[in-house]
């Protein structure tokens, strides 16, 4: 009897015999098909599935390495099937899913996630070759493989979304590739923590369903909260976890889902993710409460969306602080509303710790618990009908006067909030006895009734504003300003507020002509002589012109802080101290060896050490007190001095960290450029945007820039040929009121210039040169407006605008408020801050943004992220100029636009030609070929030229395509490691290391190749590994051997 023929199995496939002879035979069959060795030869079981020999063998080896770890984890039935049928047992989807899950899980656990990814790729390559099913072949990108050890459904969902983003499926919910990439990476970073800390039932659904489990809002909320809770101040991830999860959920389910961390109101959503540092139960209760109160605010109709957002954000901050401190141990099994309602002592103690009461939080507490925290006064006069119905209910005369006053403003109704604040204040406080008296005066004689009895009505109104919490803010003192403005209009008078309020001091801002006042009723009632001294200080300082003159804002600050000192520490004085101050005023501070002055300074130092006062604020208080006593020639004291040096050093260190990043500047510049192209911009908006553009380019101080007038733009060194150097004079208060000249010229040197009879330093350089045209443009735009200002000293200002019939000067408050609202409307939530702009400004960045903006608009993009990603991707200090220089090394025979980006494709485009570095898609009649023909007509016949023949310029050409495979990596490595190195050697042998244009340009080409390889490593890391291996084994590619 003949013995059965023994099957000869190759060494590596023979490793599979221990698991299944059938499997080993199948592997051996595939192995033997790969025996003819050629680097780029392909093996093929059929016409559908092909694999390079190197990839096949690596796949087989990686798959074999994983097998030992599966023997103890696979179900017995599946092991039996594999033993009997080999790979055919895994054609069944259920069997294949079980095998895939265990392979990834066990190898990731016992070796590494990278090994698991390699084994997974190997397994599916082998299975696809064996079955001829191209659908089983691994995808060309590997990002989803990192998810397989956690959940196979999740990995497949990630792969599907990435393919959608790569190929484009026209769905409105499909994310851009980069946004999806960042969202996926954020989820990857948090997966290990989620798998450990998620509740068992939620984790089970997440493993089995992947992103489908997020259909259930409860599961989504738990997963999102845990991810954010664990990532706050702990892990740096590309996208906030709540945003990342919402992005993935929305794209996968093709439906828009806001993050659970957002409070959803009628017209807006508010991000309160920072409160996810609380427990899940606490946060969920807080969110319900905030949404409830937010809906009440929406229904009230008396607050703008921005105000509602600010108030609720402030409230969340206060509640979070309470829950983390005073209410920390009493939150169990109680809702947040119940906790706040049942613990008023703790809440009120927290509120009293603030120097300025938290108005929004107070209003919130009144809304949820009026019986405990006081009645919530609703100002429901938002509509025109409601407004005029209320004022008519006071008296027909008052209504007629108010309508005439509003009509005189010649502005749309929505811009008259300041003017309407008087009536709204009356409505909100009508139950108060003093306001009720004011209303009775209006009933009798209209607005004139407030001026009778020496302005008793104005006095009552001002007194009520001062004693309520609302009086702490200048904005909330607007009602009495509106009442006085209305009185002056009706009576054709020019009465000042201090005419009716005897203890009020007026301050007129010399920079914008706007008047404000400070009520010194407290000081006047307690220390009348001190008030008289402060009034004298104010009146003399406002008219002073000598070397000790100060700006009105500085004087106002000194007096305000001085009153705060007397008010804050009044209870620390005894009867004798108070009597001494009443008798001698400020001079009492010098009595008995400066005892009272030292006492106040000691109290300030005590509160600073107790963390009640910030050191910077305490220093300002002591400085203000010293300024006032010096005016009266009282010896100032340096005892009990608050030191701010550590704080300043820390602030300086932090300020370096807090400077805008390049990407943030790009986003802000993009938003400014986009806003400037809007139609129907208001005068304030247009001027603020132009100012922001200048500040972002230069990094100049905000106040001196906004105070520029026409005479501050001058030209030096004008010659007969017309050459001149522009200069701008900046007036800096903090620099001892020194004038700073900024000169625009071509070199980068520090110089001195004689200006205003004093030598002052000014800067020169290309960085700020472009801004002079912006300033000239604004000067021409506003000069006719500024001339109409009522204040002669403001009629030459550059930053002037019309507000209705009035001419206003742009100041720091109006600029900051306006520009931040404009940026927010474009999705830029980073506040505009001059202190975060680098000292030299960001002019280069801004020029690049502006240059690409038109191209960007035509491309139809809509987000700053897309703009940054596709149009402003920077490689250090690379510029288009340097890229153009690089091409001259390989031949300067044609001129055209340089492409910043390289297009990567998985296979050669149809009709493309092979070049030494990649594929070329240019046509016979393209601009590139036409230019080459012109330059080389003396060397070739035109019909002989079908391409540009410039292999170096290929890397910068719009027609260049890089194939994401090992062979093209081999070509690029050959160019980088061999060809470019020979070019460098040749340039050095000719001229030495002379830093010539040729050597610099070769360096640019070297950087370009490195950039392409780095990008390719992110897209297809396996191609890089395989290409390096081929290069190491076979050396330079044959296409480069002739070079």
- CA distances 405 to 484, 500, 806, Å, are 11, 20, 14
- Residue 320's CB is within 10 A of a number of other CB atoms, namely 19
Tell me the pLDDT band of 234, cut-offs 50, 70 and 90: low
> Is there a single domain that holds both residue 771 and residue 894?
no
pLDDT(724) > 80: no
Q: In the prediction, which pLDDT does 222 show?
A: 92
The reply to whether 949 falls in a domain is yes
Q: Give the pairing type, strands 960-963 and 903-905.
A: parallel
| CA quadruple 947, 949, 950, 956: dihedral, nearest 10 | 30
- Average pLDDT, stretch 92-97? 83
b/e map 468-488, b = 16+ CB within 10 Å: eebbeeeeebbbbbbbbbbbe
DSSP string, 817-858: HHHHHHHHHTT--SPP-GGGS-TT--HHHHHHHHHHHHHHHH
> Is there a single domain that holds both residue 488 and residue 507?
no
Per the listing, tokens 């090992």 go with 966
Tell me the pLDDT band of 717, cut-offs 50, 70 and 90: low
Q: In the prediction, which pLDDT does 7 show?
A: 59
Cβ burial, residue 835 (10 Å; 0-12/13-18/19+): exposed
* Residue 907, phi then psi, degrees to nearest 5: -145, 160
pLDDT(5) > 60: no
- Average pLDDT, stretch 350-357? 76
> Is there a single domain that holds both residue 690 and residue 586?
no
DSSP string, 571-625: GGS-HHHHHHHHHHGGGGGGHHHHHHHHHHHHHHHHHHHTTSS-HHHHHHHHHHH
- CA separation for the pair 671, 668 (Å, rounded): 5
Cβ burial, residue 652 (10 Å; 0-12/13-18/19+): exposed
DSSP string, 647-696: HHHHHHHHHHHTSPPHHHHHHHHHHHHHHHT-SS--HHHHHHHHHHHHHH
Q: In the prediction, which pLDDT does 47 show?
A: 44
In 3D space, the residue among 801, 795, 787 whose CA is nearest the CA of residue 691 turns out to be 801
> Is there a single domain that holds both residue 129 and residue 3?
yes
E strand segments, 864-927:
903-905, 913-914, 919-920
b/e map 411-430, b = 16+ CB within 10 Å: eeeeebeebbbbbbbbbbbe
In 3D space, the residue among 145, 146, 147, 127 whose CA is nearest the CA of residue 136 turns out to be 127
Residue ending a domain, choose from 313, 347, 373? 373
- CA separation for the pair 36, 43 (Å, rounded): 9
b/e map 534-549, b = 16+ CB within 10 Å: bbebbeebbeeeeeee
Residue ending a domain, choose from 449, 476, 502? 502
The reply to whether 726 falls in a domain is no
> Is there a single domain that holds both residue 468 and residue 497?
yes
- CA separation for the pair 442, 398 (Å, rounded): 7
- Average pLDDT, stretch 721-746? 56
Query: What's the mean per-residue pLDDT of the chain?
Result: 76
- CA distances 816 to 687, 699, 820, 824, Å, are 12, 15, 6, 12
pLDDT(192) > 50: yes
> Is there a single domain that holds both residue 538 and residue 451?
no
Among 393-397, 477-481, 661-665, 987-991, where is mean pLDDT lowest?
987-991
- Average pLDDT, stretch 201-217? 88
> Is there a single domain that holds both residue 479 and residue 589?
no
pLDDT tens-digit profile of 917-955? 788 877 666 665 565 555 444 433 444 444 554 555 677
pLDDT(128) > 50: yes
Q: In the prediction, which pLDDT does 584 show?
A: 93
pLDDT tens-digit profile of 648-680? 555 545 544 567 776 777 778 878 888 888 878
> Is there a single domain that holds both residue 694 and residue 632?
no
Percent of the chain residues topping a pLDDT of 70: 74
Q: 220-234, 456-470, 666-680, 741-755 — which one is most confidently predicted on average?
A: 220-234
Query: What does pTM read for this prediction?
Result: 0.47
pLDDT tens-digit profile of 484-506? 999 999 999 888 877 777 788 87
Q: In the prediction, which pLDDT does 990 show?
A: 42
- Average pLDDT, stretch 129-138? 75
> Is there a single domain that holds both residue 524 and residue 641?
yes
The reply to whether 409 falls in a domain is yes
> Is there a single domain that holds both residue 621 and residue 669?
no
Cα Rg for the chain, rounded, in angstroms? 38
- Average pLDDT, stretch 42-55? 55
Specify the 3-state DSSP secondary structure of 903.
Answer: strand
In 3D space, the residue among 794, 776, 811 whose CA is nearest the CA of residue 706 turns out to be 811
- CA separation for the pair 462, 434 (Å, rounded): 10
Among 204-208, 306-310, 944-948, where is mean pLDDT lowest?
944-948
The reply to whether 761 falls in a domain is no
Q: In the prediction, which pLDDT does 838 show?
A: 60
- Average pLDDT, stretch 195-207? 90
pLDDT tens-digit profile of 534-572? 989 988 888 877 767 787 878 888 998 999 999 889 989
In 3D space, the residue among 638, 642, 619 whose CA is nearest the CA of residue 630 turns out to be 638
Q: In the prediction, which pLDDT does 490 show?
A: 92
pLDDT tens-digit profile of 833-870? 887 776 545 554 555 555 555 444 443 344 444 444 43
The reply to whether 335 falls in a domain is yes
pLDDT(276) > 60: yes
E strand segments, 864-934:
903-905, 913-914, 919-920
In the sheet with 919-920, reading across from the earlier edge strand, the strands are: 903-905, 960-963, 919-920, 913-914
The reply to whether 386 falls in a domain is yes
The reply to whether 383 falls in a domain is yes
> SS in 3 state form for 261-327?
CEEECCCCEEECHHHHHCCHHHHHHHHHHHHHHHHHHHHHCCCCHHHHHHHHHHHHHHHHHHHCCCC
Q: In the prediction, which pLDDT does 930 show?
A: 61
Q: 30-34, 38-42, 226-230 — which one is most confidently predicted on average?
A: 226-230
> Is there a single domain that holds both residue 556 and residue 472?
no
Q: Which residue has the higher pLDDT, 1000 or 277?
A: 277
- Average pLDDT, stretch 126-150? 74
Domain carrying residue 529: 503-656
> Is there a single domain that holds both residue 690 and residue 773?
yes
Residue ending a domain, choose from 656, 671, 690? 656
pLDDT(102) > 50: yes
- CA separation for the pair 533, 630 (Å, rounded): 12
Task: Report the DSSP beta bridge partners of residue 741.
Answer: 729
Number of domains in the chain: 6
């Amino acid at each position: 009897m003949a013995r059965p023929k023994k099957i000869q199995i190759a060494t590596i496939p023979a490793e599979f015999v221990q698991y299944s002879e059938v499997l080993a035979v199948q592997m051996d069959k595939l192995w033997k098909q790969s025996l003819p060795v050629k680097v780029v030869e392909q093996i093929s079981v059929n016409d559908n599935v092909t694999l390079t020999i190197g990839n096949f063998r690596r796949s087989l080896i990686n798959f074999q390495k994983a097998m030992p770890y599966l023997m103890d984890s696979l179900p017995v039935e599946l092991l039996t099937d594999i033993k009997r049928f080999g790979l055919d047992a895994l054609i069944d989807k259920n069997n294949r899913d079980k095998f895939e899950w265990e392979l990834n899980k066990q190898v990731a656990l016992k070796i590494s996630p990278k090994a698991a990814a390699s084994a997974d790729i190997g397994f599916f390559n082998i299975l696809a070759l064996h079955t001829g099913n191209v659908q089983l072949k691994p995808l060309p990108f590997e990002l989803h493989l990192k998810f397989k050890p956690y959940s196979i459904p999740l990995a497949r969902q990630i792969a599907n979304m990435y393919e959608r983003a790569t190929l484009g499926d026209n769905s409105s919910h499909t994310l851009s590739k980069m946004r999806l990439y960042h969202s996926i990476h954020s989820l990857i970073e948090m997966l290990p923590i989620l798998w450990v800390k998620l509740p068992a039932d939620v984790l089970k659904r997440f493993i089995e369903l992947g992103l489908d489990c997020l259909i259930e809002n409860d599961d989504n909320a738990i997963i999102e909260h845990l991810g954010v809770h664990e990532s706050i101040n702990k892990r740096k991830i590309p996208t906030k976890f709540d945003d990342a999860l919402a992005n993935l959920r929305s794209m996968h389910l093709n439906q828009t889902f806001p993050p659970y961390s957002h409070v959803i109101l009628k017209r807006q959503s508010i991000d309160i993710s920072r409160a996810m540092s609380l427990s899940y139960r606490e946060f969920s209760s807080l969110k319900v409460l905030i949404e409830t109160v937010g809906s009440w605010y929406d229904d009230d109709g008396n607050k703008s969306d921005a105000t509602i957002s600010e108030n609720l954000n402030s409230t969340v901050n206060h509640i979070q602080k309470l829950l983390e401190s005073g209410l920390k141990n009493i939150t169990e099994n109680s809702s947040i509303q119940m906790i706040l309602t049942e613990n008023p002592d703790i809440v009120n103690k927290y509120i009293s710790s603030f120097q300025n009461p938290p108005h929004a939080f107070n209003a919130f507490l009144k809304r949820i618990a009026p019986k405990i925290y006081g009645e919530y006064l609703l100002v429901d006069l938002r509509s025109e009908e409601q407004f005029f119905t209320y004022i008519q209910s006071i008296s027909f005369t008052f209504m007629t006067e108010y309508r005439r006053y509003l009509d005189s403003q010649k502005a749309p109704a929505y811009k008259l909030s300041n003017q309407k604040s008087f009536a709204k204040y009356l409505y909100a406080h009508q139950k108060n006895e003093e306001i009720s008296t004011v209303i009775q005066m209006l009933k009798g004689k209209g607005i004139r009734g407030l001026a009778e009895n020496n302005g008793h009505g104005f006095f009552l109104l001002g007194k009520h504003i001062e004693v309520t919490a609302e009086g702490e803010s200048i904005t909330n003192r607007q009602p009495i300003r509106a009442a006085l403005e209305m009185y002056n209009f009706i009576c054709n008078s020019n009465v000042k507020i201090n005419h009716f309020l005897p203890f009020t001091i007026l301050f007129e801002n010399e920079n914008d002509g706007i008047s404000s006042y400070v009520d010194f009723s407290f000081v006047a009632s307690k220390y009348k002589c001190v008030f008289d001294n402060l009034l004298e200080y104010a009146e003399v300082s406002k008219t002073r012109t000598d070397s000790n003159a100060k700006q009105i804002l500085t004087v106002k600050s000194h007096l305000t802080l001085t009153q705060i000192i007397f008010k804050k520490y009044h209870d620390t004085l005894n009867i004798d101290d108070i009597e001494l101050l009443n008798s001698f005023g400020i001079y009492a501070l010098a009595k008995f060896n400066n005892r009272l002055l030292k006492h106040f300074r000691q109290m300030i130092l005590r509160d600073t050490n107790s963390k009640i006062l910030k050191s910077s604020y305490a220093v300002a208080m002591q400085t203000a007190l010293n300024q006032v006593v010096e005016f009266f020639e009282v010896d100032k004291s340096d005892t009990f001095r608050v030191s701010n040096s550590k704080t300043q050093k820390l602030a300086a260190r932090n300020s370096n960290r807090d400077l805008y990043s390049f990407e943030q500047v790009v986003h802000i510049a993009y938003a400014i450029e986009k806003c400037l192209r809007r139609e129907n911009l208001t005068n304030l908006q247009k001027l603020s945007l132009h100012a922001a553009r200048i500040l972002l380019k230069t990094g100049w101080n905000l106040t001196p820039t906004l105070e520029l007038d026409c005479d501050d733009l001058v030209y030096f060194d004008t010659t007969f040929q017309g050459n001149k150097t522009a200069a701008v004079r900046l007036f800096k208060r903090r620099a001892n009121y020194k004038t700073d000249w900024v000169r625009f010229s071509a070199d980068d040197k520090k110089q001195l210039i004689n200006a205003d009879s004093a030598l002052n330093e000014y800067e020169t350089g290309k960085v700020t040169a472009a801004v002079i045209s912006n300033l000239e443009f604004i000067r021409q735009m506003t000069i006719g407006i500024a001339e109409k200002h009522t204040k002669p000293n403001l009629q030459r200002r550059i930053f002037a605008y019309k507000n209705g019939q009035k001419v206003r000067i742009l100041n720091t408050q109006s600029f900051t408020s306006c520009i931040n609202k404009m940026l927010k409307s474009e999705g830029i939530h980073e506040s505009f801050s001059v202190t975060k702009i680098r000292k030299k400004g960001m002019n280069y960045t801004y020029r690049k943004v502006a240059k690409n903006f038109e191209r960007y608009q035509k491309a139809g993009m809509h987000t700053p992220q897309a703009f940054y990603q596709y149009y402003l991707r920077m490689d250090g200090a690379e510029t288009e100029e340097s890229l153009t220089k690089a091409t001259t090394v390989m031949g300067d025979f044609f001129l055209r636009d340089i492409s910043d980006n390289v297009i990567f494709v998985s296979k050669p485009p149809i009709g493309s030609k092979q070049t030494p570095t990649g594929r070329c898609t240019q046509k016979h009649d393209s601009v590139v070929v036409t230019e080459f023909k012109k330059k080389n007509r003396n060397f070739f016949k035109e019909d002989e030229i079908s391409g540009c023949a410039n292999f170096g310029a290929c890397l910068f050409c719009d027609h260049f395509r890089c194939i994401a495979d090992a062979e093209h990596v081999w070509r690029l490595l050959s160019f980088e490691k061999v060809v470019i190195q020979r070019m460098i050697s040749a340039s050095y042998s000719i001229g030495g290391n002379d830093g010539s244009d040729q050597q610099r340009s070769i360096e640019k080409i070297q950087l370009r190749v490195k950039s392409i390889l780095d990008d390719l490593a992110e897209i297809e890391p396996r191609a890089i590994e395989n290409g390096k291996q081929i290069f190491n084994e076979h050396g330079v590619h044959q296409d480069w051997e002739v070079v």
